[in-house]
Amino acid sequence: MQFGVLMYKQPIRPSVGAYIPYLNDCGVATCFLEAVQINPDTAWAFVSKICAQNLDLEALQEILSQDVSYRQVPIAAYINDTNNSMTRAIYIEDPKRNLKRVLHLRMVKEPDKYGPWKIYSVEQEECARI
């Protein structure tokens, strides 16, 4: 009994380019906030090209100083969210400025090569100061 021989081809050349991960909704929110902290001009890659209107990234950068810690708030889906939109809540705390806020990142499904979600609005909510 003889077994067949499988031949395989070597790739002609290695792939060219940088690896860019495809981000889910949590990844988009985190990368957006990190980009705003570092340079607001790079954060425009995470913003919707169709729906975003009065988004002020410089004002958001003032809120997200380098000493700010933030984490996502585990909230159930908002009632007005549909299959094509979602909201992520981020809790922000800055002990130096006694700043405690919740940012609501409103996202719309606008897929491109980086991910399916783009941010179209950022709303902030003050928390009680101690």
The average pLDDT across 10-22 equals: 54
Q: What is the pLDDT of residues 114-127, one digit of tens each?
A: 778 899 989 888 87
pLDDT at position 73 is 74
Rounded Cα–Cα distance for residues 103 and 72 (Å)? 9
- 21 pLDDT tier (thresholds 50, 70, 90): low
pLDDT at position 129 is 61
Which is it for the CA torsion 75, 80, 84, 87, positive or negative?
Answer: negative
pLDDT at position 67 is 74
Q: What is 11-71 written as a DSSP string?
A: PSS---S-------HHHHHHHHHHHHHH-HHHHGGGB-TTT--S--HHHHHHHS-TT-EEE
Mean pLDDT of the chain: 76
Q: What is the pLDDT of residues 39-75, one digit of tens each?
A: 888 888 888 888 777 788 888 888 887 777 777 777 6
Portion of the chain with pLDDT greater than 90, in percent:
0
